[in-house]
Amino acid sequence: MPSHPVLALVCGIGSHFAIDAIPHADYPLRSISLRPRSGATIAVNRSLFRDLIVISLDAVVGLTVAMWLYATPTAALAVLLGAIGGMLPDPLQLAHKFYPKEPLRSLQRFHKWIHTKRRLRWPEAMGSQFLFVLLTIAVVEIVRACIQSS
């Protein structure tokens, strides 16, 4: 979708929810609970800094890999917006913690509903997520080859 960056953003957001429906493992956040009525507040401490480093590293690595694999001069904006869209629902959960009103309330309710309730242990989670990434790359390459041959 190189010529449709807004569509790439929307597809990225949609892919986040589709992927969340697949059993996987999430790394734990130690500084905050995203449960609506947990009463937890954010404290400036070692756990908060650890979480910020892990989240930032995750985002930077994800954006870098997406740009490295798929960005061309004509597709760079669409790839960037698609990747940002894929990450966006998680920070919106944090925004909901501070502003639990619409439309964030409905988005959080949907996010919790679609998110798998089955958690995988780390060894199987890493394997399944690695296979999912390889499958995604393969599908993108097949689609790319089909488009180029048309």
Burial class (CB within 10 angstroms; exposed 0-12, middle 13-18, buried 19+) of 101: exposed
- The pTM (predicted TM-score) of the whole model is 0.79
Give the other-Cβ count within 10 Å of 8's Cβ. Answer: 23
What number of residues does the chain have? Answer: 150
Per-residue pLDDT in tens (0 to 9) along the chain, 150 residues: 778 999 999 999 999 999 898 888 887 777 766 555 555 567 778 888 898 899 999 999 999 999 998 899 999 999 999 999 999 999 998 888 888 999 999 999 999 999 998 888 878 888 888 888 899 889 888 988 988 887
